[in-house]
Amino acid sequence: MSFKKEFAWGAATASFQIEGAITEDGKGLSVWDVLSHKKGFVEDNHTGDVACDHYHRFKEDVQLMKQMGLKAYRFSVSWPRVLPNGIGKVNEKGLGFYDQLVDELLANGIEPYVTLFHWDFPNELFLRGDFLNPDSSDWFAEYTKVVVERLSDRVTNWMTLNEPQCYAILGHEVGQHAPGLSMAQPYVLQVIHNMLLAHGKAVQVIRKYAKKKPVIGYAPVFGYIAPRTDSKEDICLAKEAMFRCTEEAGFGFSEPWWNTPIYKGHYPEDGLKLWGQWLPKIGQDDMKTICQPLDFFGFNFYRSAVTAGYQDGKPDLGVVHKVGHPQTAFDWEVTPEGFYHVVKALYERYELPLCITENGLANQDWVSLDGKVHDPQRIDFLHRYLKSLKKAASEGVDVMGYMHWSLMDNFEWASGYNKRFGLIYVDYETQNRILKDSAYWYKTVIETNGECL
């Protein structure tokens, strides 16, 4: 048994990482536009000013998608490109860009999957408090309504937030990402709560204003834990560990801290025991607003950083992988076996169709003497992960789609242009694009609907 006939084989990008044109046609600044210009904030002082120049080259990029045989393309909308001040006056040229992109995708047989927020928060709203502001979820709802009213006659698939865990923690507690803050726990928990409210209100807006019946989810990332062996005991222990709030993972990357409010309508009891004293004031209807019915469970998966198993009959948690374990150029562990177990566990827990919203490999790719880009590690990585996904699907897990990260090499946040995730090689000096070997390999996978795996 392979993947179902209507399986969405796709690739993903984020607006700030590829679009460039940071002030063109009336676009407002985002927190990433500002912070990437702070000396030393990004490796080698790279900025997203031009990135992959997708804003001007989207038609060329869609043709490359078609050449690869993609069935789906997941992209994010830049909030300040559509609403330069974050709220208020709409920038018609900016909104028109996404109008044209959707039309171009559909004309070439590619289904658009729209993500509303992938970290490029409007700078004008940051100056008013960012997600600390009690009005922030209403700001996001207003923005969502603008996008939905324009695109929903053609767009069916929607995601509210991409990895809000990273925006909240890396951006507000660690300070490694924009907006570059290092705040105390009570403030970060307020940011999280308001992001959860923003998600819930966005779902309500999509349901109310969508012109086509929408399919809605979001795209989180967590601290995934793999069983050390395939024994029933180790698998159960790994699941218990992943679905538990812990000080080690923190409220930012403990899976239940986000998903229990979104899917169950309350904060998890074990999390409240750890962090309840810092919890912000919760409005009477907040949890009801946050807990909106979703159509699929989306998640980004790159690694299972630690393992769980029994040692001498005792639970042994949080053990790192063996010395010499395969790693990517980001020093992330290659764990396709963990991917299989996580897919199974999430489907069992949430009983919703799964969408792999991101999965991919950071690699050191370059153009070879023959003018091609040979990336055998990416092919091997994808083969292993897709085989794991296929195995889970064959065992009854309802998987609706797989979005490879990324369509093309791009601005990799604090790492600048020094890490390459793409199926398409980008020469940042000339903006020349080259399909890598992995793009052709992925095309075969798509054409056979995974039968070649």
E strand map for 66-120: 72-76, 111-117
Name the pLDDT band for 318 (thresholds 50, 70, 90). confident
**Separation CA 277–CA 258 (nearest Å):** 17
Name the pLDDT band for 46 (thresholds 50, 70, 90). very high
What SS3 class is residue 327?
strand
pLDDT digits (tens, 9 = 90+) for 20-39: 999 999 999 999 999 999 99
Taking residues 366-390, what's their average pLDDT?
Answer: 98
135 pLDDT above the threshold of 70: yes
The answer, as to whether pTM is greater than 0.95, is yes
List the binding residues.
17, 118, 162, 302, 405, 412-413
pLDDT at site 1:
63
322 pLDDT above the threshold of 90: no
**Separation CA 8–CA 355 (nearest Å):** 9
Torsion of CA 421, 191, 179, 165, to 10 degrees: -10
Answer positive or negative: Cα dihedral of 24, 29, 32, 36.
positive
The string of DSSP codes covering 277-309 is: GGPPP--TTHHHHH----S-EEEE-----EEEE
pLDDT at site 379:
98
Neighbour tally for 208: CB within 10 Å: 9
Taking residues 237-248, what's their average pLDDT?
Answer: 95
pLDDT digits (tens, 9 = 90+) for 74-87: 999 999 999 999 99
Residue entry with tokens 């396709």: 336
Neighbour tally for 449: CB within 10 Å: 16
What percentage of the chain's residues is helix, strand, coil (to nearest 5)? 45, 15, 40
Residues 327, 313: contact at Cβ < 8 Å? no
What SS3 class is residue 79?
helix
Helices and strands per DSSP (H, E), number in the chain: 17, 13
236's tokens: 């159960």
pLDDT at site 184:
97
361 pLDDT above the threshold of 70: yes
**Separation CA 212–CA 153 (nearest Å):** 6
Neighbour tally for 60: CB within 10 Å: 12
Taking residues 405-420, what's their average pLDDT?
Answer: 98
95 pLDDT above the threshold of 90: yes
**CATH value of 8-447 in 3.30.1490.100, 3.30.870.10, 3.30.420.40, 3.20.20.80:** 3.20.20.80
Taking residues 148-159, what's their average pLDDT?
Answer: 98
List the binding residues for substrate.
17, 118, 162, 302, 405, 412-413
Residues 311, 344: contact at Cβ < 8 Å? no
Average pLDDT in the chain:
97
Give which of 131, 198, 122, 108 is closest to 160, Cα–Cα: 198
**Separation CA 402–CA 404 (nearest Å):** 6
Name the pLDDT band for 317 (thresholds 50, 70, 90). confident
pLDDT at site 312:
84
Cβ contacts of 387 within 8 Å, gap of 6 or more: 336, 453
Q: Residue 216 is inside which H or E element, if any?
A: strand 215-219
pLDDT digits (tens, 9 = 90+) for 205-218: 999 999 999 999 99
Residues 234, 218: contact at Cβ < 8 Å? no
Which residues are marked as active site? 163, 358
Name the pLDDT band for 13 (thresholds 50, 70, 90). very high
pLDDT digits (tens, 9 = 90+) for 52-74: 999 999 999 999 999 999 999 99
Tell me the β-bridge partners of 113. 74, 157
Residue entry with tokens 């604090």: 414
What SS3 class is residue 134?
coil
